[in-house]
Amino acid sequence: MSFELITYEVKGRIGLITLNRPKVLNALNGALMEEIHRAFGEVKCNPEVGGVIITGSGEKAFCAGADIDELRRNSPVAGVQTALRGQAILRDIELCGKPVIAAINGHCYGGGCELAMACTLRIASDNAKMGQPEVNLGIIPGYGGTQRLPRLVGKGIALELIITGRAITAEEAHRLGLVNKVVPQPELMAAAEEMLNTIMAKGPIAVRLCIEAVHRGMDMDLDNGLNLEAQLFGVVASTVDMKEGLNAFLEKRPAAFRNE
């Protein structure tokens, strides 16, 4: 499958997706979003891919946000449709069943920040800046920013960032819990690969169900969330990988997980 606005390659067990509109700082337009969606469709269908790293081309930006020229042509009806489509694509990333790491290599604003928040984990280069600056343009976040940001940093901080449009440094993003790790820019991709390889060495079914339990459980009250966890615990108890993992621990050897 060919792409024009992203690159997609598989390195070992890692699927690498690179937003590739460097002249506009990898701004998101409809066509780019659809290519991201198609790439994740390939990821989900390829059993050889254990996880994904998504990053931006060039040294300045992960993604500077939405394509303003395209955005300004939205009617009210088209605005709803655009937001719903973008939200659906990011939700697919969030629940794709494989760990996804955003390697944030520079500016990460608006839709770019929303894309990063839909990933499982986020690693930022030390020169990165993040934010939801939509109010500066007289609009609001439309790809989930008003929902995911409070879940990551808390309601008060999220409201401050959203209604002031303030950009924050990578270090502040780390302090607030928006990113998991900050590294020097030359080390960014190596750090993302190291983290993803660590995760992919674990039981793949267990990793998938952990991600599902957290994401779906966040939308439930505690009692229903605990029930979800119990049901998924039952699912994992039926797997070959659970038996292998427990036996390997008792036999003091590395586990050989089979995703079964």
Active site positions, annotated: 114, 134
Bridge partners, 123 (sequence order):
103, 181
Report whether 162 contacts 141 (CB < 8 A): yes
Among 116, 97, 101, 85, which Cα is nearest to 45's? 97
Q: Under DSSP, is residue 130 helix (H, G, I), strand (E, B) or coil?
A: strand
Burial 44-78 (b: 16+ CB within 10 A, else e): beeeebbbbbbbbbbeebbbbbbbeeebeebeeee
Report whether 143 contacts 87 (CB < 8 A): yes
- The 8-class DSSP code of residue 23 comes to G
